[in-house]
Chains A and B, each alone.
Chain A
Amino acid sequence: MSELIKLVEATIENRKQEYPEFKAGDTINVHVKIREGNKERVQQFQGTVIQRRNLNDVGETFTVRKVSNGIGVERIFPILSPSIAKIELLRRGKVRRARLFFLRGRQGKAARIKELKTTK
């Protein structure tokens, strides 16, 4: 890619280092800033990361899936988005693939992901 484009992209505030490292299978809690008129409030979106796309690019996004009142909800966040206030890593998951789209077809017990336990 052109050096000049990188120069433009460097003007975007990059807060990626403030976020914990996470990958597909992890359960995270995303704090999203929402503006209503002049007021700003923070909404939380907690769920499983089912994919991360365009890693290390300004267009990098991640998809979080949760089941809300029995309905699957997925939300795509650009990782550099200024509306993300905070990301909390709640649980590491043990998965064998990078994209967990198979979760979409599963419900209840079948949609569980094993926890990744790191040995000390």
Chain B
Amino acid sequence: MLNCKFLTLHSVFKNRLIPAILKHNKMSGLIGKKIGMTSLYNADGQALACTVIQAGPCVVTQVRSEEKDGYSALQLGFGEKKEKNTTKPMLGHFKKANTTPKQKLVEFKYFEEEHELGKALTIQDIFIEGEFVDVVGTAKGRGFQGVVKRHGFAGVGGQTHGQHNRARHPGSIGACSFPSRVFKGIRMAGRMGNNRVKIQNLRILKLIPEQNLLVVSGSVPGSKNSFVIIEK
């Protein structure tokens, strides 16, 4: 029932202007590079923080089909790479698509139209201004962090009442002789960041097709010049 409802929505809006979260993991999209942040004004005169992404043109490097691979998808490539830094098997892969070697390859499972091998997709083909997209990136690495920063623990909260060196400590990690062990999955200090993060429902504020620029509201995971995947 729910499925049907969403599917009709899907066809009515033709995949546009509805939040990506309603769209059943189906995704088309592009690969891009984070350029940096700035601010723009909306119609009400409010300043909005926004991120500039250079997305595409992405080349179709492989077409996955139901018959051959068991699922349909498009593999897109983005970013130039030197031929000498590419392995011979990969060189052959790119040669099939009749393109130069690409740095980043990503598969997208859903495209409205069929696309040929070797075709270059630009932001104009995929996105329109005002619609919502999800952006995936690799978060900046934070190194070994304590529980306050890593998991949002509150810490002790005061320096008096007998505390002297444990203001940011996690406190108890379990009970006593029962269960006499620490449960799996207890949140503790450790490596933080450098993981894949998806930010959902960022609005596209602006498209500048000449420079392949995409401006989304809000922030996007990762450092400048890092690869991001824009899904919709």
CA A88 to CA B45, docked complex, whole Å? 20
Contacts A5-B38, A35-B44 given; 7 further ones with Cβ under 8 A? A4-B35, A5-B35, A5-B36, A8-B208, A11-B40, A59-B38, A82-B45
With a cutoff of 8 Å between Cβ atoms, the chain A residues found around residue B206 in the complex are: 8, 11
A31 interface residue, CB < 8 Å from B? Answer: no
Report how far A81 CA is from B211 CA in the complex, Å. 26
Q: What are 21 residue pairs bridging A and B, where the CB atoms are less than 8 Å apart in the complex?
A: A2-B36, A2-B224, A4-B35, A4-B52, A4-B213, A5-B52, A7-B213, A8-B38, A8-B40, A8-B52, A9-B38, A11-B206, A11-B208, A35-B45, A59-B39, A78-B41, A80-B41, A81-B41, A81-B47, A83-B44, A83-B45
B→A interface (CB under 8 Å): 35-41, 44-45, 47, 52, 54, 206, 208, 211, 213, 215, 224
Q: Is A73 an interface residue (CB 8 A)?
A: no
Task: Please tell me if the beta carbons of A82 and B35 are within 8 angstroms of each other in the complex.
Answer: no
A10, closest chain B residue (CB) = B208
Q: Tell me the nearest residue of chain A to B41, going by C-beta.
A: A82
Give the number of A-B contacts (CB < 8 Å). 48
Tally chain A residues at the interface, Cβ within 8 Å. Answer: 18
Cβ contacts under 8 Å, B36 to chain A = 1-2, 5
Q: CA–CA, A94 to B39, complex, Å?
A: 33
**A8 partner, pick from B45, B47, B215, beta carbons under 8 A:** B215
User: Helix, strand, loop or mixed for chain B's interface?
Assistant: strand
Query: Can you list, as one digit per residue, whether each of A55-87 has a CB less than 8 Å from chain B (1) or not (0)?
Result: 000110000000000000000001011110000
A81 to B45, CA, bound (A): 6
Interface residues in A8-40 (C-beta closer than 8 Å to B): 8-9, 11-12, 33, 35
| CB of B79 to closest CB in A, whole Å | 15
Asked if A58 and B39 sit within 8 Å, CB to CB, the answer is yes
Q: How far is the CB of B24 from chain A (nearest CB, A)?
A: 32
Write the chain B residue with the least CB distance to A82. B45
**Are B41 and A8 within 8 A (Cβ)?**
no
Q: Whole-angstrom distance between the alpha carbons of A80 and B44 in the complex?
A: 13
A90 to chain B, nearest CB (A): 24
B41: which A residues are within 8 A, CB to CB?
A: 12, 78, 80-82
Q: Could you tell me the distance between the alpha carbons of A82 and B208 in the complex, rounded to whole angstroms? A: 21
Instruction: Give the distance in Å from the alpha carbon of A8 to the alpha carbon of B52 in the complex.
Output: 8
For residue B54, which residues in chain A have a CB less than 8 angstroms away from its CB?
A: 4
Closest CB of chain B to A34's CB: distance in Å? Answer: 9
Least distance between B220 CB and chain A CB atoms (Å): 14
Q: Report chain B residues within 8 Å CB of A80.
A: 41
Contacts of A12 on B, CB cut-off 8 Å?
40-41
* Bound CA–CA A7/B53 (angstroms): 12
B213: which A residues are within 8 A, CB to CB? Answer: 4, 7-8
Say whether A7 contacts B208, CB under 8 Å.
Answer: yes
By beta carbon, the residue of chain A nearest B40 is A12
